[in-house]
């Protein structure tokens, strides 16, 4: 069997991180750990965390570092992640989260940090067309001639626009990315762990580039 991997994927909102992580997770047989998916699940379940996070997410803000670090610490201690590794999507998003992750990963450091690079004007187009299954999170692209109702072909759930995919929220998230998350490119670059991958093109071509980059960097 192909060896596991410990990966981080960075990139602007709409760069295709979620889309590619589903494939990378199957390829390397490691869990896809998406902090956005974890928070959306908490919102759906109406937990205390979900109730707190919903407004922050809809407004395009960031949930507090302490909460996010606690969530990820707990998830990475589970057996699947300990055994074969993981692909982290949406974490770290701040320097404080990156420093905490170094401490959490400890003796099993990250193999490579992938920067999925897509220009802002292209991610804006992708996000405005994005539709997702509210149950399983599968991504779809609206063509303007969408089925009504739109039923997910994977699980039968409702396919809709995400609550945080409004133009105001998306622009705020993109500004926050430049301010809070882009500095991580320098953080990991200085540690020799960053690999930039072109995220423009057919998803199959992007996937091939990502796999080749992981193999070349570990
Ligand atoms: P999160 O879920 O992480 O959202 P995000 O960062 O906004 O990222 P996206 O899901 O928008 O983009 P993506 O890169 O995954 O793109 P996708 O594959 O969908 O976080 C949501 C919120 O949770 C945050 O705003 C924050 O409030 C909170 N949060 C989460 N983690 C946190 C943390 N660590 N700290 C604090 N707060 C946190 O692709 C986009 C579209 O493009 C899709 O329609 C797709 O089909 C299409 N597409 C994909 N690839 C291609 C391609 N190659 N060509 C054409 N179209 C493509």
d(CA 100, CA 108): 14
Active-site residue (options: 17, 54, 75, 126): 17
d(CA 39, CA 156): 22
* Residue 208: CB atoms within 10 Å: 12
d(CA 195, CA 210): 9
pLDDT in tens, 171-211: 999 999 999 999 999 999 999 999 999 999 999 999 999 99
Is 193 a known active-site residue?
A: no
Task: Inform me whether the pLDDT recorded for 2 exceeds 90.
Answer: no
Q: Distance of alpha carbon 169 from its chain centroid, rounded?
A: 17
**Residue ranges with strand state E in 82-205:** 85-89, 112-117, 130-133, 139-141, 159-160, 194-198
10 Å CB burial of residue 48 (0-12, 13-18, 19+) is exposed
Q: How far is the CA of 70 from the centre of ligand 1 (A)?
A: 21
Interstrand relation of 112-117 and 5-10 (parallel, antiparallel or unpaired): parallel
Q: How far is the CA of 89 from the centre of ligand 1 (A)?
A: 9
Active-site residue (options: 6, 40, 130, 131): 130
**Residue ranges with strand state E in the chain:** 5-10, 32-34, 85-89, 112-117, 130-133, 139-141, 159-160, 194-198
Dihedrals φ, ψ of 38, to 5°?
A: -65, -40
Q: In this structure, what DSSP letter does residue 88 have?
A: E
pLDDT in tens, 56-111: 999 999 999 999 999 999 999 999 999 999 999 999 999 999 999 999 999 899 99
Q: Distance of alpha carbon 22 from its chain centroid, rounded?
A: 10
Q: How far is the CA of 163 from the centre of ligand 1 (A)?
A: 13
d(CA 127, CA 40): 17
Is 162 a known active-site residue?
A: yes
Which one, of 214, 176, 215, 216, lies nearest residue 9 by Cα?
Answer: 214
pTM, full prediction: 0.94
Residue 1: predicted pLDDT: 80
Atom of ligand 1 nearest to the CA of 35: 31
Is 54 a known active-site residue?
A: no
């Amino acid at each position: 069997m192909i060896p596991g991997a410990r990966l981080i994927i960075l990139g602007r909102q709409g760069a295709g991180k979620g889309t590619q992580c589903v494939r990378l997770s199957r390829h390397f047989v490691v869990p896809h750990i998406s902090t956005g998916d974890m928070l959306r699940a908490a919102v759906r379940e109406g937990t205390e965390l979900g109730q707190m996070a919903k407004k922050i997410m809809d407004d395009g803000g960031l949930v507090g570092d302490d909460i996010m670090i606690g969530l990820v610490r707990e998830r990475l201690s589970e057996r699947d992640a300990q055994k074969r590794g993981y692909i982290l999507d949406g974490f770290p998003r701040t320097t404080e989260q990156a420093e905490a992750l170094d401490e959490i990963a400890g003796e099993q450091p990250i193999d490579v940090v992938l920067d999925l690079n897509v220009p802002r004007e292209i991610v804006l187009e992708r996000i405005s067309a994005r539709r997702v299954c509210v149950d399983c999170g599968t991504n779809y692209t609206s063509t303007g001639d969408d089925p009504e109702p739109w039923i997910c072909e994977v699980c039968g759930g409702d396919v809709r626009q995400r609550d945080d995919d409004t133009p105001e929220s998306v622009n705020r998230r993109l500004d926050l990315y430049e301010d809070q998350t882009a500095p991580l490119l320098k953080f990991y670059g200085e540690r020799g762990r960053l690999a930039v991958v072109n995220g423009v093109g057919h998803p199959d071509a992007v996937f091939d580039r990502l796999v080749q980059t992981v193999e070349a960097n570990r």
